[in-house]
Amino acid sequence: MSDKIPFDFDEYIRQSEPSKQKKGYIWQTAIGLQDVDGLKPSEYLIETAKKNIDGDITLEEANDLIHGYYESKTARLDVDERTEEADKVSARIAQL
């Protein structure tokens, strides 16, 4: 994964729809706080965040999806623990 966030949340923040602006800012902040510690989000978190921003799922559902994703990852050896930590903490921060 590259050193920058793999999705441009600024586009959502520039949207004219206030709910998308707010949600985009929330996710960008949550992921950015993890980046400060050198933690990078997974593509799954980014896709889940987009679903939330677009109004397809709630923040609570996003958090549940992220936790479920890692609970079922017994065969998911390609995801390291720091990415899992980044995803879970980002989801919790966004929910707060």
pLDDT of residue 61: 96
pLDDT tens sequence across 52-96: 999 999 999 999 999 999 887 665 555 677 888 889 999 989 988
Contact 41, 34 (CB under 8 A): yes
DSSP summary character for residue 56: S
Q: What is the token pair recorded at 55?
A: 């109004």
The answer to whether the pTM exceeds 0.95 is no
Element (H, E) at 57: none
Can you give the pLDDT at residue 28?
A: 92
- Report the Cα 43 to chain-centroid distance in Å: 8
Domain-by-domain residue ranges, the chain? Answer: 10-95
Each residue of 17-66: pLDDT tens digit?
888 889 999 999 999 999 888 888 899 999 999 999 999 999 999 999 99
Q: Which segment of 3-7, 8-12, 53-57, 59-63 scores lowest on mean pLDDT?
A: 3-7
